[in-house]
Amino acid sequence: MAADMAKIYEVAVKIAKDAGGMIREAFRLDQVIQTKEGAMDLVTETDQNVEKYITDMVEESFPTHSFIGEESVAAGKKCELTDNPTWIVDPIDGTTNFVHRFPFVAVSIAVAVNKDIEIGVVYNPIQDQLYTARKGQGAFVNGKPLKVSGKENLGEALLLGEFGADRNPENFKTKMDNFHKIMLQARGMRSLGSAALNMCMIASGVNDGYIEYGIHIWDIAAGYLILREAGGVVLDPSGDAVDLCSRSVLCGSTDKLCREIASKVNHVRYERD
């Protein structure tokens, strides 16, 4: 299996780089926008073309593997994580950024075996930053090892938080109230618009914590491994173990910081992936 994983990793990195090339090429062009679950949930032809390219490559290289992709699920495919080796893919994480040419966009590719993430690759082709991790082997950006900041206290933490695409007034209010409570103590909060890159920023030691309700497994599966391999913590916002399909995530450079954030939030429930 070790040899298989090395081969799968090699293919995942190649696919991420090629997909990144497609995104970089399309980044300078005006996009035709369509919406999915709501007016703020965007998709472009590039999201769909990149995902089609990735599914074709995975099918060709590993015909027995399963596939979960943001746009395949949007097109009606079931989101099912089984024990079979499964590629979990977001062709463009940060589609709104992509449309506005805000340079935080990434292709996110994870491979799970027995429901455990073994490989994580996140590539921001605009900034040419390739984040990679294999389980038990550390995390890297462009080959350089990553390590979290180790910050433990909210008062010295620079956080990341996202508004998400859901504009249900009740859900939105709970999220804003959470930010309010957290921000009375935290040093600052930024919003990059990409869950995968948020997690990579914490893995890089630049940011210290991140919370979001409403994300999907394809947004966070690769970032989950990269952050953990950099020494970070990924939990459910309740403080329980994370369930990648539960549509919520809390990340931090330390367990202590995560628990401090968890103690301040009320939960927003979404239907599982």
Report in angstroms how near the CB of residue 47 gets to ligand LIP at its nearest.
8
User: Of residues 120, 161, 164, 231, which one binds ligand LIP by CB under 6 A?
Assistant: 164
* Pick 193 or 237: Cβ nearer ligand LIP: 193
What is the number of other CB atoms lying within 10 angstroms of the CB of residue 213? 23
User: Of residues 51, 71, 93, 118, which one binds ligand LIP by CB under 6 A?
Assistant: 93
Report in angstroms how near the CB of residue 37 gets to ligand LIP at its nearest.
10
- The size of the interface with ligand LIP (CB under 6 A), counted in residues, is 14
Is residue 94 part of the contact set for ligand LIP (CB under 6 A)?
Answer: yes
Q: Name residues contacting ligand LIP, limited to 188-247 (CB under 6 A).
A: 193-195, 212, 215, 219
Per the residue annotation, which of 71, 90, 152, 273 is the catalytic one? 90
User: Of residues 118, 152, 162, 208, which one binds ligand LIP by CB under 6 A?
Assistant: 162
Check if 93 is active-site. Answer: yes
Per the residue annotation, which of 208, 219, 229, 260 is the catalytic one? 219
Q: Are 182 and 154 in contact (CB under 8 A)?
A: yes
Report in angstroms how near the CB of residue 7 gets to ligand LIP at its nearest.
27
* Pick 29 or 40: Cβ nearer ligand LIP: 40
What's CA 221's distance to the chain center, in Å?
Answer: 6
Report in angstroms how near the CB of residue 190 gets to ligand LIP at its nearest.
12
Check if 18 is active-site. Answer: no
**What would the 3-class secondary structure string for the chain be?**
CHHHHHHHHHHHHHHHHHHHHHHHHHHCCCCCEEECCCCCCEEEHHHHHHHHHHHHHHHHHCCCCEEEEHHHHHCCCCCCCCCCCEEEEEEEECHHHHHHCCCCCEEEEEEEECCEEEEEEEEECCCCEEEEEECCCCEEECCEECCCCCCCCHHHCEEEECCCCCCCHHHHHHHHHHHHHHHCCCCEEECCCCHHHHHHHHHCCCCCEEEEECCCHHHHHHHHHHHHHCCCEEECCCCCECCCCCCEEEEECCHHHHHHHHCCCCCCCCCCC
Check if 90 is active-site. Answer: yes
User: Of residues 51, 71, 90, 118, which one binds ligand LIP by CB under 6 A?
Assistant: 90
Is residue 70 part of the contact set for ligand LIP (CB under 6 A)?
Answer: yes
Stretch that binds ligand LIP, among 51-59, 61-69, 157-165, 240-248 (CB under 6 A): 157-165
Measured CA to CA, the distance from residue 179 to residue 163 in angstroms comes to 10
Per the residue annotation, which of 47, 51, 71, 93 is the catalytic one? 93
Check if 70 is active-site. Answer: yes
Q: Are 190 and 158 in contact (CB under 8 A)?
A: yes
Report in angstroms how near the CB of residue 63 gets to ligand LIP at its nearest.
26
Q: Are 73 and 47 in contact (CB under 8 A)?
A: no
Which residues are designated catalytic?
70, 90, 92-93, 95, 219
Q: Which residues are near ligand LIP by CB under 6 A?
A: 70, 90, 93-95, 162, 164-165, 193-195, 212, 215, 219
